[in-house]
A and B are shown apart, each in its own frame.
Chain A
Amino acid sequence: MTIEKVFSRCGRSVRLVSSDESWSSEIYQAFLQPLRYKNKMYLDSAHLDAGVEDMGYYLYIGPSNHDLTALSENCRFLKTTDSKYSIVKSEKVYFSEDVLYIWAILRTAVE
């Protein structure tokens, strides 16, 4: 079984969107899970004088044909059926000279 088949069989349906959602990619499947820190700090939000920061970070692992590293600044958002995320950092993971999958850290987008 190829890694693409694992994504399509077990992954969550997502799509890339622009900040105003005027552009959207096709729906595809990728893995998305909460990022867990060893010190459990992710359990709390951060209370600043300007408001509350939702500190929800997520690990994304997705197919190489949706290259998150090549997105322009205003298209760095990802949507599921119920949530919108901002792409904080993304990188290609290689096997030999081929891109095996895309790794990224997402954060909950608040509008």
Chain B
Amino acid sequence: MRIIGSTVTQIVALLNANSASLNGSATAAFPTTKISYPLNENLFAVGVLSSSLGKRIVVTEGDERVETHNRPLSVTYSVTIYSPASLSGSALLSTFDKVIDCIVHTGNYNVSSAGCGDIEYSTVAKANVLKAFFTLSSVVSDLT
């Protein structure tokens, strides 16, 4: 399992390294670059929704409770997928599956939850849009 604490740019780099299988390119949310028009491949915008750092993990050894330096960390990322309007909505869901596969198998991250909202059509981008999220979970060491 890979330890998180990763930045959005690391997730973006992972998706871009697998752009051939994902048939698209990724960017951190709200860049200043122009979106290609008409869209001819998928476009992924990655951002952070929330993060939480839990209390130190306590382990029990017999009757003794030992507080470790480890703390559970989870970060929820948003990923918005823009897909050419010529492709179907099911292709968009399939692309989201591939994103999660890429993060789990290629990135070796621990995805504890993932989900998405409705597929919508953006009249501005002339593309099908799926707003989704995934949560990466890990344990980090707190030596303070």
Contacts and interface: CB of A to CB of B under 8 A. Distances in A.
Contacts of A107: 37
Contacts of B40: 19
B6 to A, nearest CB: 19
Nearest to A108: B37
A86 to B, nearest CB: 5
A111 B38 CA distance: 8
A71 interface: no
Interface of B: 27, 29-38, 40, 43-45, 47, 80, 82, 86, 122, 124-125
A48 B125 contact: yes
Contacts of B30: 47-49
Contacts of B35: 48, 50-53, 110
Contact of A51 (B33, B47, B86, B122): B33
A51 B33 CA distance: 5
Mostly, the A contact residues are strand
A109 B37 contact: yes
A110 B34 contact: yes
Contacts of B47: 49
A73 B31 CA distance: 29
B36 A49 contact: no
A50 B27 contact: yes
A54 B124 contact: no
B138 to A, nearest CB: 25
Nearest to A47: B30
Interface in A37-54: 46-54
B124 A51 contact: no
26 contacts: A46-B124, A47-B30, A48-B45, A48-B122, A48-B124, A48-B125, A49-B29, A49-B30, A49-B45, A49-B47, A49-B80, A50-B35, A50-B80, A50-B125, A51-B33, A51-B45, A52-B31, A53-B34, A53-B124, A53-B125, A73-B86, A107-B37, A108-B37, A109-B37, A110-B34, A110-B37
